[in-house]
Chains A and B, each alone.
Chain A
Amino acid sequence: MLDDVDRRILRQMQAAPELPNAELAVRCDLTSATCYRRIEKMQASGVLKGQQAVIDWQALGYAVEVSLRITLDKTQTRAFDDFIEAAREVRHVIEIQTFLGRVDVRLSVISRDMGHYQQIYREQILGLPHIADIEALMHVARIKQSEGLPL
């Protein structure tokens, strides 16, 4: 299991993932060797899975992001599988999440502008299988997006 030192390392890494090991060790008040060994151990145990670049879709010209909250027709036994399989084929879907609650599936859809969104919605989303209901939320702003864990 993880101890306080591991948690300290993860906290610092979460705050600044691009820090080189030497600098990270200083911030954690550890020697470079200890810091490196602990990181390797956390990688081996699967706690630390890696680092990903966060794509800025707006900078790539995708100004509109819409969250589609979808309820499926659960009388169809393959509703989830069929729906997700088909949603993967929609090129402008960047996230697929499934839920326990009032909403079954959520898709994040990006588009260049409202006209483009309308086109994707009509031509590709509405044709997805087993949809019972769709609600849309349009993104205005991201206030916080660290996705860090409260360690």
Chain B
Amino acid sequence: MIELDAIDRKILRALAEDATLGAGALGRRFDMSQPAMWRRVKRLQDAGAFRARRLVLDAEKLGFGVTGFLGVKLATKGRVSLEDFERAVSAIPEVQTIEHVLGMYDYRLRVVARDIPDFERVLRRRIMTLPGAGDVEANVLLSEERRPGPLG
């Protein structure tokens, strides 16, 4: 585990907003030489503090007006069915994230769709027909914000 100081936290916060910032731009922002900043970013990267970049697109402008979160409970449990379920759900293009969770659901899925009828189509044709899928709860996303968390 990597220990962070105040500048490391600022750097991570800046990169979480704009991953294209180089050592030069970050150095100017936080009043540090480019080589010193490069070493800092390298250290954070080597420690795995941040992973691959995420491209930020305007989903609505691209025709995806609805984002939903689904809680899925498996009807039959057992190691084989977990793997089958995960493989099948991973192959659905509308499914953006899959989290295995403990609690009242087994999986939490983030799904995009063009509109509500399309969301229903994905839900009925793709999700409810998955191997082992039992109860499904759907909630439509209205707003979301990412917070800096402990980096703030």
Known: A17-B53, A53-B12. A149 touches B149 (CB 8 A): no
> Does A99 contact B54, Cβ atoms closer than 8 Å?
no
A51's partner among B12, B54, B59, B90 (CB-CB below 8 A) is B54
Q: How many residues of B contact A (CB 8 A)?
A: 64
* Chain B residues, Cβ within 8 Å of A101: 137-140
Find the B residue at minimum CB distance from A143. B98
- The minimal Cβ–Cβ distance linking B67 to chain A, given in whole angstroms, is 9
The range of chain A's interface size is 35 or more
Q: Does B129 contact A (CB under 8 A)?
A: no
* Chain B residues, Cβ within 8 Å of A30: none
Known: A17-B52, A47-B57, A53-B16. A97 touches B149 (CB 8 A): no
Please, how many angstroms separate the alpha-carbon atoms of A106 and B90 in the complex?
23
- The minimal Cβ–Cβ distance linking A73 to chain B, given in whole angstroms, is 18
Please, how many angstroms separate the alpha-carbon atoms of A112 and B86 in the complex?
27
> Does A60 contact B1, Cβ atoms closer than 8 Å?
yes
Q: Does A142 contact B (CB under 8 A)?
A: yes
Known: A51-B18, A139-B99. A88 touches B147 (CB 8 A): yes
Contact with B along A58-88 (1 / 0, CB 8 A): 0111100001000000000000000000001
B residues with a Cβ closer than 8 A to A are 1-2, 4, 12, 15-20, 47-59, 61-62, 64, 69, 71, 86, 89-90, 93-105, 107-108, 110, 112, 137-152
A47-B62, A101-B137 given; 15 more Cβ-contact pairs under 8 Å = A10-B62, A17-B55, A46-B58, A48-B58, A50-B20, A52-B15, A55-B16, A67-B99, A96-B144, A99-B141, A110-B150, A140-B101, A142-B100, A143-B100, A147-B96
A residues with a Cβ closer than 8 A to B are 2, 10, 13-14, 17-18, 45-57, 59-62, 67, 88, 91-103, 106, 110, 135-151
